[in-house]
Structure 1
Amino acid sequence: MEERMEATPDISVTEWRVNYSETDQMGVVYHACYLVWLDRARTEHLRRTGVSYAELERRGIRLLVGELTIRYRQSARYDDRITIRCWVRERASRRIGFGYVVEHADTGRILATASTSLMVIDANSRWARLPAEVAELLPISADPVRL
């Protein structure tokens, strides 16, 4: 069993069970489902820090995934409880980088690690700057594990 990461105010934890529809013929989670999970964890992380996608869009700000890296370590299976830890690992005026760890909730085994880089654009798809008051709500955390 691997050592579990502790939650901190800057690292959000989202938990759910693997649905049957997320598995492939081999009984494991289809690899592309992890991308949806990362999006879900990132959305919850932003909401918990006081920034929601809906509010950003009302303000004319969009976050566009520009880069994604994922490392699969072990398989998740139907009905497994999983947790995803998400944090801001870097922030610039036009970019926010997020880190993720997908874990088996019952054993603490790391199933995958990932990072995404989101670009800030306006409603007309032009580069924009992240408003300072939004950036202040997104503190940067050191990676708690090697991504």
Structure 2
Amino acid sequence: MPEDAAAVVSPVRVRYAETDQMGVVYHANYLVWMEIGRTDYCRACGAAYRELEAAGLRLVVAAAQVRYHAPARYDDDLCVVTRLVALRSRQVTFAYEIWRTADGTRLVTGETTHLPTDPHGRIIRLPPSVQAALASKLAPGHGGD
């Protein structure tokens, strides 16, 4: 499982309700776990999502891409590795890897792209303070504007 200074790692344990009758995780739950990773990433940068919303900023999902490599099963311990891979004034992209901790199997990779909006859904520029906070862990080789 790769770890670096640009990543935030979030532990997750698969709950029974997240699986089908065969004990395999339902595919949409990986997006929920990506949200956990994204929220933890923002918090680790000093930009807790609750505070962003209180300040009138929303990060709406504009695109999501998920690639399934292997299934997770009931009661697996997983880790969600989240990195910020693109930061622009009007767009933010996060990348994710979800791993099973017991055997180091990579289960899922994915990305989500977000647009900053005001509470009425109008696209706005990220405030400079939020850009600076998120950029503090920006993955090397990825830029912003």
Structure 1 residue runs without a partner (length 5+): none
User: Superposed, which structure 2 residues align to 1:56-67 within 5 Å?
Assistant: 56-67=52-63
Give the count of matched residue pairs: 139
- Alpha-carbon distance, 1:123 to partner: 1.3
Q: CA RMSD for the aligned pairs?
A: 1.2
Deviations 1:18-73 (A, max 9, x none): 10111012220000111111111111111111011111111111110000000000
After TM superposition, what 4+ stretches of structure 1 lie above 2 angstroms from structure 2?
none
After alignment, is 63-72 or 121-130 more displaced? Answer: 121-130
- Asked if 1:36 corresponds to 2:49, the answer is no
For 2:74, give the aligned amino acid. Y
Q: Does residue 115 of the first structure (1) align with residue 115 of the second (2)?
A: no
Identity, % of aligned pairs?
39
Q: TM-score, normalised by structure 1?
A: 0.90
**What secondary structure, in the 3-state scheme, does the structure 2 residue paired with 1:137 have?**
helix
Match of 2:2 in 1: 5
Pick aligned residue for 2:87 from 91, 101, 108: 91
Q: In the alignment, residue 55 of structure 1 is paired with which amino acid?
A: E
> How many Å apart are 1:142 and its aligned residue?
4.6
**TM-score, L = length of structure 2:** 0.92
Distance in 2, matches of 1:142 and 1:97, equals 14
Contact 2:100 2:106 survives alignment (8 Å): yes
C-alpha distance in 1 between matches for 2:139 and 2:82? 10
Q: 1:74 aligns with which of 70, 74, 79?
A: 70
Which structure 2 residue ranges, 5 or more long, are not aligned? none
Q: Quote the Cα distance in structure 2 between the aligned partners of 1:93 and 1:105.
A: 35
